[in-house]
Amino acid sequence: MACEAITNAIRHSDSGDLEDPGTATVVVSGAGRTVRVEVLDASSPDTAPRLADEDLEAVSGRGLHLLDILSGGRWGSCDGDHGRTVWFEAGA
């Protein structure tokens, strides 16, 4: 799940800009049997994290669906002064 969120940060935000690459920051925290992962990226002017339309023939657009299922819907994104954070929780 973390790999998917980090890959998205690189593929879909300005963090992965080939001309002017930025950073992606990962924060992992835990409480009891719950782990929370936050991935901060450089944001992007034209896209935002979203569940792609379901299309059985599509070769992409499944990552956030998997993350949504595996987290039980406990994920989201928020925009801040320093970029965008995509977060999810897993566990109890």
Residues in contact with Mg ion by the rule CB under 5 A: 8, 63
Q: Is 25 in the site for ligand ADP (CB under 6 A)?
A: no
Q: 3-class secondary structure for the chain?
A: CHHHHHHHHHHHCHHHCCCCCCCCEEEEEEECCEEEEEEEECCCCCCCCCCCCCCCCCCCCCHHHHHHHHCCCCEEEEEECCEEEEEEEEEC
Q: Is 44 in the site for ligand ADP (CB under 6 A)?
A: yes
Q: Judged by CB, which is closer to ligand ADP: 4, or 35?
A: 4
Residue ranges binding ligand ADP (CB under 6 A): 8-9, 11-13, 41, 44, 47-50, 52, 60-65, 84, 86
